[in-house]
Structure 1
Amino acid sequence: MPLAASLFCLVVAIGDGDTLTVRCGAPGTYTQVRVRVAAIDAPELRQAFGQKSRQNLARLCFRQNAALQWLDEDSYGRKVANVRCNGTDVASAQLRAGLAWVYAPYAQHHPHLAPLQHQARSSGAGLWSQKRPQAPWDYRRRHAR
């Protein structure tokens, strides 16, 4: 699928709070694609709030049509995309609920996200209710195999 293309696909699986699998195409010629939600990083599944983040993404998107705007491909081969489910911007919803961090290296084109994280942090929403929440990139570095 070309980058910067937009299309509608059915969400068929949720990996974690920032990764989902979609089925795109016409009946009989479906393609499944793993998608990373652009500009956010959700807690790992074994990390505090990892399961809640995944559950919230499932509530927003599972078995729903998702509007996807392809932006890039990451080092794991996932397509990186802006994702909307039922008209809701998924990155914004995950941040608003306190279930993801803004991923600064890839958020330069998403300036609307930082204030949402700040608001969630100020109100103690989700992972921000912890005394010292650990960013997923720090968690991954400390728990590398």
Structure 2
Amino acid sequence: MKLLLSLLGLTLLSPAWANKVVGITDGDTLTIQVGKSPVVVRVADIDAPEKNQAFSEQAKQSLSSLCFGKQAQYQERDVDAYGRVVATVTCGGVDISRVQVERGLAWVYTEYNKDLSLPGLEAIARRDKRGLWSHPNAVPPWEFRRQPRLKKAVAKQSVEGICFVGRHGEYRIVDGAKRYGC
């Protein structure tokens, strides 16, 4: 009976969600195996560089070294527009938001931040020029995402000549005019 009560007590004291990290998407998104289902979790309070942005790979590697294959605990706050759970996350007892900001591999997401200690950590990382703060023109991901995507025409050889790939498909220049299809 004492064993049963102690096991019940441990169950009640354990975090609501404690599961293994099975995937890292980028510097602020990971996949946690919850029972038999994977759950995509967006780390709350921070915004890491986007895939085509400076320091994106370093941010992803940092999150991977902190969490991949380890047990994670998360406390859900919300679900974002992409269906990801937005949550505070710890891996091995380490607060992921804090470490990513301290390493200079994520911005404090000021619009959604609820952790009052993060702006101070970001200021220290900026002062010490850690990670993305070593770049003179660091652009926050929320601004980077708003920049217009430049569609560059890519040339490739075809039998008829040069074939370009643009926003509306493949085309060739024949007699000074675009001809779609290569």
With structure 1 as the length reference, what TM-score do the two structures score? 0.90
Q: How far did residue 119 of structure 1 move?
A: 0.5
Matched-pair contact (CA < 8 Å) for 1:6–1:70? no
Could you tell me which of 18, 24, 48 is aligned with 1:8? 18
Corresponding position of 1:19: 29
1:1-145 matches, within 5 Å, as: 6-25=16-35, 30-107=36-113, 109-144=114-149
Q: How far did residue 6 of structure 1 move?
A: 2.8
Which secondary structure state, in structure 1, belongs to the residue aligned with residue 24 of structure 2? strand
Which secondary structure state, in structure 1, belongs to the residue aligned with residue 17 of structure 2? strand
**Structure ID, larger Rg:** 2
CA RMSD of superposed structures (Å): 1.3
Letter of the 1:111 partner, please give it. Answer: L
Letter of the 2:118 partner, please give it. Answer: L
Which secondary structure state, in structure 2, belongs to the residue aligned with residue 115 of structure 1? helix
Letter of the 1:73 partner, please give it. Answer: V
For 1:51 and 1:90, the matched residues in 2 are separated by: 16
For 2:149 and 2:17, the matched residues in 1 are separated by: 35
Moved over 6 A (4+): none
Letter of the 2:69 partner, please give it. Answer: R
The gaps in structure 1 that reach 5 residues or longer are none
The gaps in structure 2 that reach 5 residues or longer are 1-14, 151-182
Deviations 1:64-103 (A, max 9, x none): 0001111110111100010001111000000000000000
Matched-pair contact (CA < 8 Å) for 1:9–1:24? yes
